Chains A and B, each alone.
Chain A
């Protein structure tokens, strides 16, 4: 069995996001790039599965859509334990375009299981994984919070709003995963970092897609008004404010 993990590179969550002088782009100067948090959990689970005795998982491959800015992040994924990496060489745009670019790659190399994170922490769109499944025509499920292998099939839990199903699914499958698939992401070992230097990172050309959406401008949200402080001991006052001013009680 071959597992692919779709991997986005994103600015570290604590990074300040600066809008460029033309306000039609983000100024990424000095930004620290990291593996998208959900993709890191997906990679962690893929590696855990591969290491199970008799798992039948031959390979875990990370697949990125990005320019060379993503390379250090991809190397980190290799250091964590992925066997090899593929980078489709283009800056990612809207989710449907990325999904089409990924689908074109997955048409050239077949995987039994493709994992994608719930969303990327930059644009928070949360659609690429499902769109990929839709374009590729594979079985596709979102809300996946646990994943196991069982006699060549995939046993997973799907968290719906209000219910949880345990499903047994025949590959190939695109699974959009969330917290629970793994709890704490793996970090690279020293040995992993050394090995990552020589693991294959294949760069492939993207197919041409026409972007349907364009980001035409950025702005900062209005600053929130000051927090109204209530002295401890005056909890009655807080309740009165919530009733009469905020009207939420």
Chain B
């Protein structure tokens, strides 16, 4: 048995979700009575070792990879490593690049692939996994018929504790080919701004905010909490906020520790994007709003009066 987890670093470091994935992969490996190899890309060796300390037995620090847009050659370069280190399970987080590699390696190795994994398997032999389907309306139990499987973890899994393992570190320089049919015209990096999908706290506004001119208190609450800003679909459709902030079924799916929904009624499409949050706080003037069915804490009231006093109370 061998289990490999792949992580691509972010700005030469790692995010809380990524350390959670290492911790979760480690409990996965322990339950399967196996060793965990962490394969990292885009991380300096010291950071990779730190990340591995969340529960890996071994870290392979990879560099010299083809550009991230060249997915087929990336898989060609990583293939021997996955084949050797992930004979039973190859694990990924659910960021865009990892999902792409997960699919391509599964296609290449003819492994089964299960995404949306947020819990340890019901059983390892035979392998049965439970995951949400229909945007969380039902749970399905999936039987993986033959050994060799690729799994993609949800964000927000794992209890990350630094330094609980002292992995063996190996550096590996891979020489990938590159595809001249894919040219990078330009690239914007996120100038260090907190990403909605990484954020552990999110403050979100809906149609109940009445207009883009009323976003000041949301921005202020986000800044006091160190939270990222989000919105519901009507808000982005109306152009009040950029569609990059849209969370919900067709927008971004997020799993922060704290989600504060302000003036959001909680349509099922919206809930599909936030029901992985640990704690949901809802502020809405309609006590019948469906958001209160999924919220942990609620205030029935006008956002225009509740938000300023919430901000004031937080500052005290």
Pick the contact of A212: B102, B145, B281, B301 (CB < 8 A).
B145
Which residues of B sit under 8 angstroms from A248, Cβ to Cβ?
Answer: 201, 257-258, 278-279
Pick the contact of A246: B111, B182, B197, B279 (CB < 8 A).
B279
Which residues of B sit under 8 angstroms from A236, Cβ to Cβ?
Answer: 313
- Determine the main DSSP class of A at the interface with B: mixed
Contact stretch, chosen from A82-90, A106-114, A192-200, A221-229 = A221-229
Q: What per-residue 1/0 map shows which CB atoms of B43-73 lie under 8 Å from chain A?
A: 0000000000000000000000000110110
What is the bound-complex CA distance between A139 and B179, given in angstroms?
9
Q: Which of A41, A127, A233, A241 has the most CB of B within 10 A?
A: A127
15 pairs, CB–CB < 8 Å, chain A vs chain B = A13-B269, A37-B249, A37-B250, A143-B100, A162-B189, A167-B182, A168-B185, A169-B181, A179-B250, A184-B237, A213-B142, A229-B298, A230-B297, A232-B305, A246-B258
Chain B nearest Cβ from A119, distance in angstroms: 8
Chain A nearest Cβ from B57, distance in angstroms: 26
What is the bound-complex CA distance between A238 and B262, given in angstroms?
14
Contact stretch, chosen from A52-60, A63-71, A72-80, A129-137 = A129-137
Chain A nearest Cβ from B142, distance in angstroms: 5
Contact between B296 and A246, CB atoms less than 8 A apart = yes
Q: Chain B residues in contact with chain A, CB under 8 A?
A: 10-11, 68-69, 71-72, 75, 95-97, 99-100, 102-104, 106-108, 110-116, 128, 132-146, 152, 179, 181-190, 195, 197-198, 201, 225, 237, 243-244, 246, 249-251, 257-258, 268-269, 272, 278-279, 281-282, 292-302, 305-306, 309-310, 312-314
Contact between B187 and A17, CB atoms less than 8 A apart = no
- Determine the main DSSP class of B at the interface with A: mixed
Q: What per-residue 1/0 map shows which CB atoms of A154-195 lie under 8 Å from chain B?
A: 010011111111111110000000011001100000000000
Q: Chain A residues in contact with chain B, CB under 8 A?
A: 11, 13-14, 16-17, 19, 26, 37-38, 41, 94-96, 99, 121-127, 129-131, 133-135, 137, 139-143, 155, 158-170, 179-180, 183-184, 211-221, 224-225, 227-233, 235-236, 238-239, 241-242, 246, 248-249
Which residues of B sit under 8 angstroms from A143, Cβ to Cβ?
Answer: 96, 100
Contact between A134 and B103, CB atoms less than 8 A apart = yes
Contact between B135 and A124, CB atoms less than 8 A apart = yes
Q: Which of B96, B97, B181, B189 has the most CB of A within 10 A?
A: B96
Contact between B116 and A125, CB atoms less than 8 A apart = yes
What is the bound-complex CA distance between A249 and B314, given in angstroms?
10
Contact between A38 and B102, CB atoms less than 8 A apart = no
What is the bound-complex CA distance between A241 and B299, given in angstroms?
13
In the complex formed, the residue of B with least CB distance to A228 is: B297
Which residues of A sit under 8 angstroms from B113, Cβ to Cβ?
Answer: 95-96, 125, 127, 131
Chain A nearest Cβ from B106, distance in angstroms: 7
Pick the contact of A231: B138, B195, B250, B299 (CB < 8 A).
B299
Chain A nearest Cβ from B28, distance in angstroms: 18
Which residues of A sit under 8 angstroms from B136, Cβ to Cβ?
Answer: 221
Contact between B313 and A235, CB atoms less than 8 A apart = yes
